[in-house]
Structure 1
Amino acid sequence: MKTEWNKFLRDRNFAFLFAVSILVLAFILYWITKFLIFVEARNGIAFRDPILSLFEPMDVTWVSFALIYGGLIVALFYLTFHPERFMLALQAYSFMLLIRIISMYLLPLNPPENIIPLKDPFVEIFGGKTFLKDLFFSGHTSTMFVFFLTAQRKGLKIVFLIATFLIAACVLIQHVHYSVDVLIAPFIAYSSYRISLNMNNYIKNLK
């Protein structure tokens, strides 16, 4: 792992881009917490979802967060051995968050009528707020799909793909998201990944 990072950081272009990627993500993460307060206070629209109307919600919070945090731990462990893929994941996640911010601003939604709030146990420990209106599109589903896209080992890709389907099912079962929030999430994640990949390939060609 040390050799991979040494080789990666010796490339000044990539070392600079990696540092910028971290700073940009840190800024976006800080700013989105402020933005979500605005989103939560704003009134949005609600609609009858034909898929959610087929079943009553069930609380699967712990399954959801086992998938989310389990996937995050596995992804971080894998990516620390692959610095270029690590940077790619950071960039794709940043672009995905930016698109999500724009989407939420342009499409204010109220949560599904029978929502069971997805309360993050770690956020609750530190007195954080559970947001209900950060809906379009599903951040949990798109994040897991980013892990799938940035992983290179076939077995790991299969694990993340299955986890993507499971987390998508969980947020629907709990009526945390409308079905359209979940269906569009992988496409946004893929678009963010392609933008990041093309940007990095362009920088490679500058050498």
Structure 2
Amino acid sequence: MRNGLYPRWSEVIRDWKFVLAMACGILLAITAIVLILPPFLEVIEARTGHRIYDPVLALIGPVYISEWIFVATYSVSLLGVLRNIRSPHHVLWIVFAYAGINLFRMITMTVVPLEPPETIMALRDPFLEGGVYAGAPKIKDLFFSGHTATVGMFIFMEREARWRLAFISGTILVAFLLLWQHVHYTIDVLAAPFFSFFCVWAIRQVMALLFPASPVFVPSEVVSRKGRRSGL
């Protein structure tokens, strides 16, 4: 992400609101990964849910391609982070949007209990198994797809059309690979971008209240208008 008028790291480290917000975001992430998600997912795995018929899965696979899914997901995610790393407000946006996605996943998994597709081939993700999966793959963390939602959130943060197209393509690829291995139902991957959009949008509204002069969260014309008014 070109820095332009965006606040730089050397500037925001002197802003107590930014430092506090980032510290809260990091603390929230660590707490969720270490204390909340592992026991929550164990409860989800232990309960009985509903299995649904998916005509798309009936036409494809399953094929074991966990390695491809891993590479695609983390390549797109890394690209998204690198596109934004020079802008601390974008990084803050990413942290809280990702937290929001996981919060919504906990809610939807609680209220929409699903059994995995009968033909599922468990996804092996070394990062997840070393963290929230507590050493073993999980197969019932279904509605909605966390992999698809995570890469999808960068679509709605990106302002340059060519890069937005790249993130759209990456999200479609990850979604297709998940379906090919029968890790998720079609509805899981189709719903994911809508949750991504809502989380990205909602966090932006909150951050605009905290940082009203930031062009990351507030349209540049609004910032300019406020600046002209304050100069009167």
TM-score (norm 1): 0.91
1:52 matched residue in structure 2: 57
2:10 matched residue in structure 1: 6
Does residue 39 (structure 1) correspond to residue 65 (structure 2)? The answer is no
Does residue 176 (structure 1) correspond to residue 202 (structure 2)? The answer is no
Q: CA deviation at 1:16?
A: 1.4
**Alignment deviations for residues 14-33 of structure 1 (CA, whole Å, 9 cap, x no partner):** 22112112112222223112
Q: CA deviation at 1:177?
A: 0.4
Residues 34-183 of structure 1: pairs in structure 2 closer than 5 A: 34-122=39-127, 128-183=135-190
Of the structure 1 ranges 79-88 and 115-124, higher mean CA displacement relative to structure 2 is found in 115-124
Q: Secondary structure at the match of 2:13?
A: helix
Q: Distance in 1 between the 2:130 and 2:26 partners?
A: 26
Does residue 198 (structure 1) correspond to residue 202 (structure 2)? The answer is no
Query: What one-letter code is carried by the residue in structure 2 that aligns with 1:45?
Result: H
Q: Distance in 2 between the 1:168 and 1:87 partners?
A: 26
> Which structure shows the higher helix fraction?
1
* Number of residue pairs aligned between Structure 1 and Structure 2: 206
Q: CA deviation at 1:125?
A: 7.8
2:222 matched residue in structure 1: none
Contact 2:77 / 2:150 at 8 angstroms: preserved in 1?
no
Q: CA deviation at 1:85?
A: 0.4
Q: Secondary structure at the match of 2:165?
A: helix
Contact 2:93 / 2:200 at 8 angstroms: preserved in 1?
yes
Q: Distance in 1 between the 2:197 and 2:91 partners?
A: 16
**Alignment deviations for residues 183-205 of structure 1 (CA, whole Å, 9 cap, x no partner):** 10000011011110000001124
Q: Alpha carbons of 1:124 and 1:136: their partners in 2 closer, same or farther (altered >3 Å)?
A: closer
Of the structure 1 ranges 177-186 and 125-134, higher mean CA displacement relative to structure 2 is found in 125-134
Q: Distance in 2 between the 1:139 and 1:200 partners?
A: 23
Query: What one-letter code is carried by the residue in structure 2 that aligns with 1:188?
Result: F
Query: What one-letter code is carried by the residue in structure 1 that aligns with 2:183?
Result: V
Q: Distance in 2 between the 1:123 and 1:141 partners?
A: 15
Q: What residue ranges of structure 2 are gaps of 5+ in the alignment?
A: 215-232
Q: What residue ranges of structure 1 are gaps of 5+ in the alignment?
A: none
**Alignment deviations for residues 116-141 of structure 1 (CA, whole Å, 9 cap, x no partner):** 11111455689821000000000000
Q: Distance in 2 between the 1:9 and 1:111 partners?
A: 45
Contact 1:28 / 1:98 at 8 angstroms: preserved in 2?
no
Q: CA deviation at 1:174?
A: 1.0
Q: CA deviation at 1:105?
A: 0.8
Q: Distance in 2 between the 1:140 and 1:112 partners?
A: 17
